[in-house]
Structure 1
Amino acid sequence: MAMIGYARVSTVDQDPQLQLDALKTAGAVRTFTDHGVSGSTTDRLQLAACLDHLRAGDTLTVWKLDRLGRDTRQVLDVIAELTNREITFRSLTEGLHTEGPMGKAMLTIMAAFAQLERDTMLERTRAGLAAAAKNGRKGGRPLKVASKDAVRARDLVAKGITPNEIAKMLGVSRATVYRHIREDR
């Protein structure tokens, strides 16, 4: 009869400490944490380890529902698995739990809203990128190498200079050099 926590951050740069502190304060005796994993990803190693660790009578606790997953079906499938194994679920921020029919109904509604929020965000992002492209702007990360330097890198490779040496000359990583060499092929 233990409270087990699960935390997740979407990028390796994010810090899960807020989630970990909240789970500890709530009484989690152990917490599993996925770093740099999207909520829409089904292959989350620490979530799998957490689910494997849970036993009947335990409670899986998350800081916020979207930490468990962003897709409604995915969240509800995990909750159904927990219910079948006699494990309860609790989300701290929303105050949701699977104890009783009202808790289960609210959980289903909140999972749908979490997915709606994600779908709306993706839709806005796509619309913004399309509008930028229409105005001649390209989304994404700025290039580290100007087109003249990319041509120069290809010429240097053709002359037998190694990508390591070219990277030092241009002040970029070897991977950047390889990327520009590949674009030519």
Structure 2
Amino acid sequence: MAVIGYARVSTVEQNLDLQLSALNEAGAVRTYADQGVSGSATERPELTRVLDRLEAGDVLTVWKLDRLGRNTRHVLEVVEELRNREVGFRSLTEGLDTNGPMGTAMLTIMAAFAQLERDTIVERTRAGLTAAAKNNRHGGRPRKVDDAAAVRAVALKAKGLNASDIGKMLGVSRATIYRYLAG
């Protein structure tokens, strides 16, 4: 029997240290980690690797349930596959352990709450974007060139100036000027 760890962070800027430390303290003899991979992504190379290499008697251990996945169905499918292969599952933060029926029941409940949290975040984000759009506010990076400057760029181009010179005059890059001239 071996404790095998799996860690994941969604962006490359995030740090795996907390998860790796906790998995090490839990006795993980080997840890697989996906960095810069969303939990909702279907392709997680290191998760695939660890699932392929687990053997009967091993215990797949994660720092937190949402590291395995945020989709309830996927989490439960993975755990069911592990159970069929006689591989245990443990989540350190939630204190879940699939050894026994109570651990499995708690895992199902926790996975449902993780899915609820994700769905609530998505719903709130959509509502916020809709409200912002009604107030004529749109997400994304602010424009570098306002409407007046865009008109000026077109007029300067018509006078024969090149994009580099126009960009210097307006304080933006040549590529930005090309985008506005193309539109």
Q: TM-score, normalised by structure 1?
A: 0.82
Does the CA-based 8 Å contact 2:54-2:87 persist in structure 1? Answer: yes
- Alignment deviations for residues 75-101 of structure 1 (CA, whole Å, 9 cap, x no partner): 001001111111100000000011011
For the structure 1 residues 102 and 133, does the alpha-carbon distance in structure 2 shift closer, same or farther, using more than 3 Å as the test?
same
Q: How far apart, in 2, do the equivalents of 1:102 and 1:12 lie? A: 36
Alignment of 1:131-150 (within 5 A): 131-144=131-144, 146=146
Equivalences, count: 183
Give the residue type in structure 2 aligned to 1:121.
I
Asked whether 1:41 is paired with 2:41, we answer yes
For the structure 1 residues 138 and 83, does the alpha-carbon distance in structure 2 shift closer, same or farther, using more than 3 Å as the test?
same
Alignment of 1:72-83 (within 5 A): 72-83=72-83
Does the CA-based 8 Å contact 2:32-2:50 persist in structure 1? Answer: yes
In the other structure, the counterpart of 1:181 is: 179
Cα drift, residue 165 of structure 1: 9.8
Cα drift, residue 184 of structure 1: 3.9
Q: How far apart, in 1, do the equivalents of 2:20 and 2:11 lie? A: 16
In the other structure, the counterpart of 2:106 is: 106
Q: Which ranges of structure 2 fall in alignment gaps of 5 or more residues?
A: none
For the structure 1 residues 95 and 184, does the alpha-carbon distance in structure 2 shift closer, same or farther, using more than 3 Å as the test?
same
Alignment of 1:87-126 (within 5 A): 87-126=87-126
Cα drift, residue 43 of structure 1: 1.0
- Alignment deviations for residues 40-77 of structure 1 (CA, whole Å, 9 cap, x no partner): 11211111011112111111000000000001100001
In the other structure, the counterpart of 1:2 is: 2
Q: How far apart, in 2, do the equivalents of 1:33 and 1:156 lie? A: 53
In the other structure, the counterpart of 1:85 is: 85
Give the residue type in structure 2 aligned to 1:32.
Y
What secondary structure sits across from 1:32 in the alignment?
strand
Q: How far apart, in 1, do the equivalents of 2:132 and 2:114 lie? A: 27
Does the CA-based 8 Å contact 1:59-1:89 persist in structure 2? Answer: yes
Q: TM-score, normalised by structure 2?
A: 0.83
Q: Percent identity?
A: 67
Q: How far apart, in 1, do the equivalents of 2:104 and 2:152 lie? A: 62
Cα drift, residue 156 of structure 1: 9.7
Q: Which ranges of structure 1 fall in alignment gaps of 5 or more residues?
A: none
Give the residue type in structure 2 aligned to 1:138.
H
Q: How far apart, in 2, do the equivalents of 1:34 and 1:21 lie? A: 15
Cα drift, residue 29 of structure 1: 1.0
Does the CA-based 8 Å contact 1:7-1:34 persist in structure 2? Answer: yes
For the structure 1 residues 165 and 55, does the alpha-carbon distance in structure 2 shift closer, same or farther, using more than 3 Å as the test?
farther
Give the residue type in structure 1 aligned to 2:114.
A
